[in-house]
Structure formats: C-alpha cells, structure tokens
Amino acid sequence: MKNKKVVVVGGGLGALSAAIYLAKLGFSVLLFEKNEKVGGKVNEVVLDNYRFDTGASLLTMLSVIDDLFTFAGVTRSDYLDFLPIDPLCRYFFADGSVMDASADITKMKQAIEKISPEDVGAYERFLSYSERIYNLTSEIFMYTPIHEFKKLIKSRHFQTLFRLYQIDPFRTVHQSVSRFFSDPRLIQLFDRYATYNGSDPFQAPATLNIIPYIEYVLGGFYIKGGIYRLIDALVSVANELDVQIHRSSTVEKICHDGKRIMGVQVNGEIIKTEYVLCNTDAVIAHRELIDGYRSISKKLSRLEPSLSGMVFLWGVNGSYPELAHHNIIFSSDYRTEFEQIFKYQHVPDDPTIYIAITSKTDIEHAPEGCENWFVLLNMPYLIPEQIWDQEKDRMRSVVKDKLRQVGLNIDKHIEMEKIYTPVDFQDMYASNRGSIYGISSNSRTTAFKRIPNRSRILDGLYFSGGSVHPGGGIPLVVLSGKMAATLIAEDFGLCE
C-alpha cells in the first residue's frame, strides 16, 4: 500500500481547499506556508482601528464553497454568512455619468435605460449569449481538469468539443461586447470583466464573457466580517480534519530522483513524501523549487503574466455616501490604458480605479464616522526598468485628482496609509513577476496553455492555485485544489 502522506506547499486558498479534500479522503496532510498567516493573496491587514481585505473583494459561484464544506461533513452557514451586494458596483464614467449595476435584472435594466435607452434590449440579449457560453463551458473548463485526456473524452463533454465555435473563442471580449451595445460606457463596463482574470479585453477571447453571467445571474456576494473569514473558516475545518498547518515554514526545494517525487526541503530539513501538492505559482515553482528542468522552466517563463496592481489602503476620516461598497472610476481611454500595461509594460497615465469600502457593510471595519478604502489600480507585471517608489507618489496624485473630478476631495482626510506594488506581490506571495492572477488570457488558446493540475515531468507532483487550471478568482482557485486532490486520490484508487 502506498504511503498516504501528502505535503502541500503554500497556504493559499487552493492549498487549503486541496488539504481539506485530501484529509477527508483519509490522507495525512502536512501544509507548509512561508508567511506567518495563511491565505495567500486572500488576506487582511489591520491598521489601528481600520481593517482591510487585501485580495479578492467579491464572492461568486457560492455552490463551489458550499460543496467544499459539505464534502468536509460540515455546514457552511455554521461558519460563514454570505451577504448579497446591491449595487454590485457603482460605475463612474469619464463624462461624469454614474451608474449602479445590479444582479436584479429589473434594477439593471432601469439603470441602463437612464444612460442608454436603446441598449436595454441589448442587455437581455447579452445575458442570453453569456449564459450560452456558461452552459457550454462551465462543466469542461471550470469543473474538469482538461489536460486529463480520459476525462476530456467523456461523452458529456462531446457537446462542447463539437460546438467550440459557439463559445466565441475567435473574437476578443471587446469585439463581442461591441456587437451588443452601442453606448461606449456600457461597452467599457462589460469589457472590464476580462480583468477578473488579469487580462486585456482588447486581446482576451470573448469566451471570458461568461463572467458577466456568473456575476449578474448567479450573483455577487460579500462575507460578513470580511472575505478573509473564508480563510479562517477553512483553517478551522482543516484543523478539525487533522491537517497539520505549519506557518513561517519555507519550502526551499521539491526533491525528486528525476522521475518521481521524494520529498521537500523545509527550513533546511528534508521531509520525505511521494506526493506533493504545490500551491506556489507554478512558473516560480519550476524556476526555483524544482531542479533539473531548466528548459521547461524557460518555456513556462515565456508565458505572459497577468495584470499586477498597485494598492492603497487608506483609513479615511469622514463618510462618503457618493461611494458604494464597490466602485469603479473608469479611465477616459480604456484601450490606451491596456496598451500601456501589456504592450509597453508601462504604468498607465490614466488608470481605472477600483475602490472597495467594506465599512459600508461592516461598520466595525473603521472608526465611527470613518471609512476603510481599498484602492486598486491595474498595473503591468514587473520589468527591470520600473522604479516603483516614484510610481507610488505619481499614482497617489493621479488617484486624488480623479477623485476630485467626481467630487471627492480626501487630501486632508487620509489618517492611515499602506501601499503595495507589484514588487510586494512578488515578495509576499512568490507570484511570477508580481502578477496577481497567474497567466494572462491574452490569446485564443490560453485555456489550453494553463499549467496542468498534474505534473507532466514528475510522478507524484500536482498543482493548484490561480496560475494553473482552471484559473484565478476565489471559486476557480478552490476548484483547482479539488481537482488536484481528486487526481491524487485517483492514483490511490479512492475515486474516479
């Protein structure tokens, strides 16, 4: 009988998901996280009396989370309270107009009618188009490890394989959105969803138009207490299943004999195991943790990283009813913004600004009469020429100027500040060139270029996280952990 011990490298969301699935299936699971806190990019920061989520800020596809808790034998509602967000987001356009987007179709149509009456019908047609993509692709691209040929050829997948043209893979997100809407503001709004996996709407395949269906039909949610409560809950469940979680424990090498996994080196100590589930960015893992495969490492390093970001955490003295829980202040020229980011790897002159204020929903996240602003700007992945200390100062001024343009002057009201750049994402989370979402989807074949959940070079090595299939975002990363755990279990004949 094989030794049922699995070492999990990293403590991000995919790692915790995988650890829970494996432990419930009877494996002995050891998880090693290099930081003091687990959660990876899903994290939180407290600055005096201000609390901030520092990663994902919106939860979708609730069934994925519920399924994980159910598999573990517990009830999700005993751990987490999901709250629907309405409006989903408040959009500020360059012409001064403002629109609240909603998962309530009546409210959404009313909001569209106020700014572009002729596009109300287009919205319903767009949702039907998005739903078709979801129905055709969700099973095969989100719930199936597509690099496993035996799983791919199952009869229920034939419908998708023979109807790939219907998932709109040959146009870009922007091209297809523009076919439905006439108003440039609505085109910009729906183009935005390509950024949910760190991509450029002017390059990424229109298949990503599945994302609006997920948000507007399945709904967008917040977790009472903050998104990081999901990590707390998963740690509790993992502890109940006897997962051994080791914090401040850096995995320095994944050991192998050229064919099979032999163990890991953690803080200088060798821990023997035949199975490793790596949740570290897979490009970094092949470059820094796995010796002997330089050509493969170089090949993976040529894959284009996703967007990175610059984050300002601001404790703001004052209340601002002009802003909702989620807000977007759009750039005046979206195409130029993404050209500067991806084509020239340049910090955009006029960035789109995302602001999440959880104290709008959880008042205890800021002192009375104050708000906690999480401010995110799209940024290029790291290149040597960038000088981020200069860009931090420049971007702070740009953000304040754009806020003044929508009637918000906060110059004298910022009490607390913490700033993160792509350098910080690289250092804290070992992300490839500071990218947030792993690999970009700026090509028609990206779905098949994502790194598989099972290693093609070493037996016993598996991958989870946003850098591998099926991609970034809370539900997909949770699913990556499930897929990797299931593949390990299948090797033991525990499931099919």
Asked, for residue 129, whether it belongs to a domain, the answer is: yes
Task: Give the integer Cα–Cα distance in Å for 369 and 69.
Answer: 37
Q: What pLDDT does residue 183 have?
A: 98
**What does R_g of the chain's alpha carbons equal in angstroms?**
22
Q: What pLDDT does residue 496 have?
A: 60
Q: What are the b/e assignments for 145-161, b being 16+ CB within 10 Å?
A: bbbbeebeeeeeeeebe
pLDDT tens digit at each of 496 positions of the chain: 467 999 999 999 999 999 999 999 999 999 999 999 999 999 999 999 999 999 889 999 999 999 999 999 999 999 999 999 999 999 999 999 999 999 999 999 999 999 999 999 999 999 999 999 999 888 777 877 767 766 666 655 556 655 666 788 899 999 999 999 999 999 999 999 999 999 999 999 999 999 999 999 999 999 999 999 999 999 999 999 999 999 999 999 999 999 999 999 999 999 999 999 999 999 999 999 999 999 999 999 999 999 999 999 999 999 999 999 999 999 999 999 999 999 999 999 999 999 999 999 999 999 999 999 999 999 999 988 888 989 999 999 999 999 999 999 998 999 999 999 999 999 999 999 999 999 999 987 776 678 999 999 999 999 999 999 999 999 999 999 999 999 999 998 886 6
Asked, for residue 247, whether it belongs to a domain, the answer is: yes
Same domain, 174 and 145: yes
Asked, for residue 24, whether it belongs to a domain, the answer is: yes
Same domain, 274 and 293: yes
**Longest pairwise C-alpha distance within the chain:** 68
Q: What pLDDT, in 10s, does the model give residues 41-67? A: 999 999 999 999 998 899 999 999 999
Domain count, the chain: 3
Same domain, 298 and 320: no
Same domain, 389 and 424: yes
Same domain, 265 and 317: no
Same domain, 169 and 189: yes
Same domain, 129 and 210: yes
Q: What pLDDT does residue 159 have?
A: 61
Reference 195, options 184, 186, 204, 187; nearest CA is: 204
Handedness of CA 131, 136, 141, 143 (dihedral sign): positive
Question: What single-letter DSSP state applies at residue 304?
Answer: P
User: Domain with 283 in it: what CATH number?
Assistant: 3.50.50.60
Strand partners, 463: 278
**Final residue of a domain: which of 154, 187, 217?**
217
Asked, for residue 164, whether it belongs to a domain, the answer is: yes
Same domain, 420 and 453: no
Handedness of CA 123, 125, 130, 135 (dihedral sign): positive
Full domain range(s) for residue 405: 307-429
**Final residue of a domain: which of 217, 248, 282?**
217
Task: Give the integer Cα–Cα distance in Å for 281 and 451.
Answer: 10
Task: Give the integer Cα–Cα distance in Å for 494 and 153.
Answer: 21
Asked, for residue 70, whether it belongs to a domain, the answer is: no
Asked, for residue 69, whether it belongs to a domain, the answer is: no
Same domain, 16 and 30: yes
Note the residue count of the chain. 496
Question: What single-letter DSSP state applies at residue 343?
Answer: I
Q: What pLDDT does residue 1 have?
A: 42
Asked, for residue 88, whether it belongs to a domain, the answer is: no
Same domain, 237 and 203: no
Asked, for residue 496, whether it belongs to a domain, the answer is: no
Place of tokens 């432990």: 23
- C-beta of residue 465 within 8 angstroms of C-beta of residue 280: yes
Place of tokens 């755990």: 485
Same domain, 234 and 190: no
Task: Return the structure tokens found at 212.
Answer: 């609006």
Query: What does pTM read for this prediction?
Result: 0.95
Same domain, 312 and 400: yes
Reference 405, options 353, 359, 369; nearest CA is: 353
